[in-house]
Amino acid sequence: MTEIVKGDENLFLALGFPPHEAEILQLRADLMGQLRLWIQDSGLTQADAAERLGVTQARVSDLVRGKWKKFSLDMLLTLAAKVGMHFRLELSRAA
C-alpha cells in the first residue's frame, strides 16, 4: 500500500525513521531545499554557487541533487548563513 505524505508532514517519519532522527533529517531536507531555491532564483551556475558558498562544484551538485546523507545540519546552516539566510531555532515539547 502506498502512503501519501502531506506537505506539512515529516516524510522521514513516514519512511520509518525514529522520531528524533526524522526531525533532524527533515530540517536538513528543508535547508537543502532552500539552498537549491537560492541557486535557482539567483540564476547561478553550480560553479558560481560553489564559489559564493566556499565549496567545490561537486558539493553544489550533491546539494542540488538532494543527496542529504552527504550534508550535516551544521554544514547546511553554515552554507545558508553564507548566502545571507536568517534562521531561528524554535523548540516545543512533544504532545
28: CATH: 1.10.260.40
pTM for the whole structure: 0.82
pLDDT digits (tens, 9 = 90+) for 28-85: 999 999 999 999 999 999 999 999 999 999 999 999 999 988 999 999 999 999 999 9
DSSP state of 9: S
Long-range contacts of 24-29 (CB under 8 A, 24+ apart): 24/73, 25/68, 27/73, 28/68, 28/71, 28/72, 28/73, 28/76, 29/66, 29/68
Supply the pLDDT for residue 5: 55
User: Residue 5: inside a domain, yes or no?
Assistant: no
pLDDT digits over 70-89, tens only? 999 999 999 999 999 998 88
Please report whether residue 93 resides in a domain: no
Let me know if residue 2 belongs to a domain: no
Domain count, the chain: 1
Confidence band, pLDDT 50/70/90 cuts, at residue 18? very high
Domain span at residue 25 reads 12-82
